[in-house]
Amino acid sequence: MKTSVEVHNLTVTYGSAPVLWDIDFSLPTAKIIGIIGPNGSGKTTLLKSVMGLVEPASGYVKIFDKTLEVSREKIAYVPQRESVDWDFPANVYDVVMMGRYRKNNLFRRATKADKEIVLDAIDKVGLTEFRDRQISQLSGGQQQRVFIARALAQKAEIYLMDEPFVGVDAATENSILTLLQEMRSQGKTVLIIHHDLQTVSDYFDHLVLLNTRLVAEGSPQDVLTKENLSNAYGGQLTLLSKVVQLIKEKEHPIREKDSDL
């Protein structure tokens, strides 16, 4: 199977402290991939490394077997909603149009094709009737969908999303998941930082489990074992046993922030 993202012997440090240590894996294409692990385990740093936003102490990342410099335009990013200035004076259409601009074409006029791509992206996330609305006037779930639409407008091959399901209602979560599945069917690869341990086996085809080091990588069935969860989350065996049981039985959600793993 073709590899989308290859991470080889990647170490990232902030000061003298390692945030990621000797990470090594290759991810398949056309899959929805979850990145899970406890708080401070390096999940966001891993996404930033894939985008080339942090300089590794050692190792490298390749996209479709090419360097980041060559492949950068194949990557789109959806940030955490909390990291965005929602008071910025822009409407939905303006924000999504930002996805059509690249470093080498910042000052060109939007073409007819650009406008069609933007309107199609807005329609895909169900915001057509809100396209002229200021982003500050949107609900949390609508704001999240605006940035997914901006990423779609980039026409990328790999989509990196930092906790897209946080702070949205169940209906929005389901609509985002349906959209991700449609993207997968079109051959796109989606990497998502995720915290809800109970939903990972339903949402993702492939998992990366981190705690500074790579604990496990593979199918949810292979990754979500008691031993791997214990290694990642620190040996709270009673809680972890319950997590594994709930994953198997699909009962009530266990979320990382609730269980304090």
pLDDT tens string 10-24? 999 988 889 999 999
Structural domain of 161: 3-83+157-259
Token representation of residue 104: 């080498």
Give the pLDDT confidence score for residue 87 in this predicted structure: 80
Give the pLDDT confidence score for residue 43 in this predicted structure: 96
Report how far apart the first and last C-alpha atoms of the chain are (Å, whole number): 34
CATH (domain of 171): 3.40.50.300
Is 229 a domain residue? yes
Alpha helices, H only, 134-233: 140-153, 170-185, 200-203, 220-223, 226-233
pLDDT tens string 192-203? 999 888 899 999
Is 95 a domain residue? no
Is 30 a domain residue? yes
pLDDT tens string 202-249? 999 999 999 999 999 999 999 999 899 989 987 654 555 666 666 666
Is 120 a domain residue? no
> What is the pLDDT averaged over residues 170-191?
94
pLDDT tens string 249-261? 654 455 554 444 4
**Structural domains of the chain, count:** 1
pLDDT tens string 127-139? 999 999 999 999 8
Is 133 a domain residue? no
**125 phi, psi to nearest 5 deg:** -95, 5
Is 102 a domain residue? no
Is 47 a domain residue? yes
Residue, of 25 and 240, whose pLDDT is higher: 25
Neighbours of 257 (CB within 10 A): 10
> What is the pLDDT averaged over residues 96-101?
92
Chain centroid offset of residue 46 CA: 10
Separation CA 191–CA 97 (nearest Å): 23
pLDDT tens string 142-155? 998 999 999 999 99
Q: Has residue 114 got a pLDDT over 50?
A: yes
Q: Which string of b and e fits 30-61 if b means at least 16 CB within 10 Å?
A: bbbbbbbbbeebbbbbbbbbbbbebebeebeb
Give the pLDDT confidence score for residue 252 in this predicted structure: 47
pLDDT tens string 40-95? 999 999 999 999 999 999 999 999 999 988 998 899 999 887 778 878 889 999 99
Is 228 a domain residue? yes
Read off the pTM: 0.86
